[in-house]
Amino acid sequence: MSLVESEETTPLLKGYVDNEEDAYKSRWRSIRVMYFTMFLSSVGFTIVITSIWPYLHKIDDSANASFLGWVVAAYSLGQMVASPLFGLWSNHRPRREPLVCSIFINVVANIYYSYVYLPPSQNKYHMLMARALVGFGAGNVAVVRSYVAGATSLKERTGAMANMSACQALGFILGPALQAALSVIGEKGYNVKIIWLQFNMYTAPALLAACFGLINILLVILVLREHQVDDDGKQIRAINYVSEGKRVTVIPEVEGDIDQFAVLISNILFFVILFIFAVFETIATPLTMDMFAWTREQAVLYNGIILAAIGFESILVFLAVKIVSAKVGDRPVLLGGLVIVFCGFFMLLPWGNHYPTIQWADLQNKTTVELSLAYTPSANSSVEPTGCPSAQTWCQFTPAIHIAQYITSDILIGVGYPACNVMSYTLYSKILGPKPQGVYMGWLTASGSGARTLGPVFVSQVYTLLGPRWAFSLICGIVLVAIVLLGAMYHRLIAFSVRHGRIQEETG
């Protein structure tokens, strides 16, 4: 095969302009589209998270808290499968392609979720499938992270990753807030007969997420351009040559190898971080319904407000992380975040002599009320039982968690988790350096998705069978193991350029 190298060196991908100032503006416009994509992905997930349990229980009363774990985990299982595939796709083709494809899948899946009540039976399995497809579409997070990592210099990286996490947190705020606002529609809502739709507090959020997805597709098509820079922020230009009559573009090879052991440790730490937060967000609604005797509507509303507050707190943390990490380094911030998360889960351990309301008492009261009103035809005898279900035997001997404990834990986890989250994949992108990161980011996202798959299943099973004392004690143990691992491997988690002696090691 004969190669005739072109005298002209051109940018890596179509859409780049030679003027450096225009290239800089185009690069950051594209990065902001990725911020927005991450924001909408977060909204699409959190906008239904607090209502999944009551919606599941409403459409299929055979579903229990254990099946809830599988429904929540289905999202992450779909994402785990899709992330490496979309990452590989983005390494060889323009990122616009996997992004548009994945977002379209997400839109269709959200519409499917809005109609899972229609089948005459097995509705819970339709919800399971819908959430798995939503998660499959969310596999584009790997593409988003690899794009931002490749389009920023080493100096810009932490700030850009923190900004992306802030956008994710903003979606984390807006999602539950929108769900809380849409809860005023109520469980009955409105029937749109022409399209067989029950527009209520459960279906409206998913339909809104589908609309957001359509907006996202338009932005990716119209605004996104491809850019790749080195660790110093200089645009990487590809060499064009003619091969067998065709014009071919190749990326110059970067010297040096990636520390694969550091990659493995980073994936393990990211798994733990996502695992513990998946546990927290999964158990929030059942826990509060059991401990505080909240109704389904109260649990959706109050937890939506709490999660929105945590999201706002997270934005403040991301802003602080950008400043603190510049002074002390990324690794100390990650370590401090894990310690705070440990304190948050330790705070949830039950103590005292106050016990939760048992649901059988409510059922007895309901029966008494129905009997006394049996001769009153206009009476409303539909009373929703509240409290800890009698089937959960631990309710009889495990102290209730106080509301102050729950709120304090929320605050601590709202500080520790975002710090861990942004530092884990900032460090990861720096370890990879200027190498193509699509597949690696796909594996990182798959690692987090695996955690989100196992976390809900783990906590729903342990919580249902053994109660909060065992569930949160085990989580504390897992966080301690992560802290020890980070301390032991601290010296290996350094940037690619630092490892190869091209720049000085960061502070801390």
* CA distances for 507 relative to 240, 261, 339, 483, angstroms: 40, 22, 20, 20
Q: For residue range 204-237, what is the model confidence (pLDDT) as tens digits?
A: 999 999 999 999 999 999 988 888 776 666 776 5
What's the confidence (pLDDT) of residue 464? Answer: 85
What's the confidence (pLDDT) of residue 100? Answer: 94
Find out whether 104 and 47 touch, Cβ atoms under 8 Å: no
Q: Is residue 388 part of a domain?
A: no
Q: With a cut of 70, list the residues of the chain below it in pLDDT.
A: 1-19, 230-233, 236-256, 360-383, 435-436, 500-508
Instruction: Tell me which residue range forms the domain holding 98.
Output: 3-350+401-499
Q: Is residue 419 part of a domain?
A: yes
Q: Is residue 361 part of a domain?
A: no
Q: Is residue 390 part of a domain?
A: no
Q: For residue range 318-340, what is the model confidence (pLDDT) as tens digits?
A: 888 888 888 888 899 999 999 99
For residue 466, what is the domain's CATH number?
1.20.1250.20
What's the confidence (pLDDT) of residue 276? Answer: 87
Q: Is residue 381 part of a domain?
A: no
d(CA 385, CA 365): 9
What's the confidence (pLDDT) of residue 6? Answer: 38
What is the number of structural domains in the chain? 1
Provide the whole-model pTM: 0.70
What's the confidence (pLDDT) of residue 233? Answer: 62
Encoded tokens for 254: 């970067």
Q: Is residue 382 part of a domain?
A: no
d(CA 142, CA 327): 28
d(CA 361, CA 366): 9
Over the chain, what is the mean pLDDT?
A: 80
Q: Is residue 368 part of a domain?
A: no
Find out whether 388 and 292 touch, Cβ atoms under 8 Å: no
Encoded tokens for 108: 């269709």
Q: Is residue 185 part of a domain?
A: yes
Residue 259 dihedral angles phi and psi, to the nearest 5°: -75, 95
